Amino acid sequence: MRIRIPLTYLVLGGTFVILLPHVGHAQAIDDITEQASQHVLKAWSYLINMVGFVGGGALLLASVFGWYMHQKNPNAGRGLGLVLAGFVCGALLLSFPFLAKTASLSVFSGGVQATGDQKMMKFDQ
């Protein structure tokens, strides 16, 4: 009884044997997960910045145009309250990335660090 091995299996097996040392030196799962989460968080921050800058700028431009239209014809249907609300929302959206970065650096990065150093407590009398 003769065993026949197809050429495809031999090529795949040879490729696996050649790549085996590289697979053996793969990163740990926590490093891969950390890198993936950093990529996701960076993409999320770019999306928030884009929405803040583009949306805020668009609202500010629309408010300036609305103010112009209101001054040209106050009875045209675009009220002054709508113009001011667009201006306020545009300013908030435009400043949101700066406020979020300031809050994250000032509030959330003041965490405890475990360095292994022991400190001696001294009491004054």
pTM of the entire predicted model: 0.56
For 2, 75, 77, 79, the CA distances from 63, given in Å and listed in that order, are 83, 16, 14, 11
What pLDDT is stored for residue 37 in this prediction? Answer: 87
What pLDDT is stored for residue 90 in this prediction? Answer: 92
Domain boundaries, the chain: 49-105
The predicted-structure confidence for 46-95, as pLDDT tens digits, reads as follows 888 888 899 999 999 999 998 888 888 888 777 888 889 999 999 999 88
What pLDDT is stored for residue 74 in this prediction? Answer: 80
Q: What is the mean pLDDT of residues 26-43?
A: 78
**CB–CB of 63/26 below 8 Å?**
no
For 24, 52, 64, 121, the CA distances from 46, given in Å and listed in that order, are 35, 10, 27, 45
Higher pLDDT, 25 or 33: 33
